[in-house]
Amino acid sequence: MPDSVHTSLRAMVQTRQPKFGHYVGEFLTPGIGHMLAEANCDFVFFDMEHSGFSHETLKQAVRYFEAAGVALIVRVPSKDYAAIARACDVGAEGVMVPMVANAEEAAWFVDCMKYPPQGNRGVALSIAHDNYTSGAVPVEQRLAGANERTTSFVLIETREGAENADAIAATPGVDCIWIGHFDLSASLGVAGEFDHPEYRAAHDRIVEAAKRHNKSLGRLVANVEEGKADLRQGFDFCCYGTDTMLYQRILTQGLDTLRDIKDEA
């Protein structure tokens, strides 16, 4: 298991030491958490935006990753209160919200995640998010504990978001800035052109905003080379590959190699 077993996301965002993880959007089994732990993953990026995973599925996933000691970041499907607060209620301590365009939306996100006095999340206790804690624990202590655990990941992936990156990063309660590179490039009119000057300028603006306000910085990378480049730029959350991409890549490589051997016979 990784050295970071049971290290919370709250602790992770308080350091700029690199954290390494993996994206899960297709394959969820009871053993997935232990598989990632055996691969030395510090965290998992669990995607509800593009996967079709439900909150019922998330409720199970929380326990799979908790049992393995792999920190869980959940990308919810929208900026709606119900999507954010419900993910927290079923036990997600790290929540990522898509398409954040400005500081007002970032502040709304934090407001949905936090109980009073830090926010306006609806109170529900002795349920999944607090491990069904006994009513003997004072309510004020339970709310404060939940506020301390919940960790916010703001996804900047539009032209407007990049333009407002500094104000977003300065928003109280924002813990990590995450760059959605494909959506950002599409929003800029240069879809998939990650070396285009306009994309590079927007990307660098976001990176500098995170550094200026001492916020964690993350991105999903497709290969080791991308990850190395990000780490050199100061990214500290490196999410390596999607489950479907890695499965297909390794399967294709193996089958192609076997076919080449057959052809040589």
**Where residue 129 sits, what CATH number does that domain have?**
3.20.20.60
Question: Which pLDDT score, from 0 to 100, does residue 134 have?
Answer: 77
Q: Measuring CA to CA, which residue among 100, 132, 130 is closest to residue 115?
A: 130
Residues spanned by the domain of 37: 9-264
Phi/psi at 3 (nearest 5 deg)?
Answer: -60, -25
Question: Which pLDDT score, from 0 to 100, does residue 133 have?
Answer: 83
Question: Is the residue at 3 inside a domain?
Answer: no
Which residues of the chain fall below pLDDT 50? 1-5
Number of domains in the chain: 1
Question: Which pLDDT score, from 0 to 100, does residue 1 have?
Answer: 32
Q: How far, in Å, CA of 161 to CA of 159, rounded?
A: 5
**Residue 244 CB contacts under 8 Å (≥ 6 apart), including other chains:** 25, 26, 27
Point out the residues that are catalytic.
Answer: 50
Question: Is the residue at 4 inside a domain?
Answer: no
**Neighbour-count burial of 192, counting CB atoms closer than 10 A to its CB (0-12 exposed, 13-18 middle, 19+ buried):** exposed
Category of 132 on φ-ψ map: left (φ > 0), alpha (ψ -120 to 50) or beta? left
Question: Which pLDDT score, from 0 to 100, does residue 6 have?
Answer: 59
Question: Is the residue at 84 inside a domain?
Answer: yes
Question: Is the residue at 132 inside a domain?
Answer: yes
Question: Is the residue at 172 inside a domain?
Answer: yes
Question: Is the residue at 151 inside a domain?
Answer: yes
213-241 tens-digit pLDDT: 999 999 999 999 999 999 999 999 999 99
Phi/psi at 24 (nearest 5 deg)?
Answer: -120, 120
Question: Is the residue at 1 inside a domain?
Answer: no
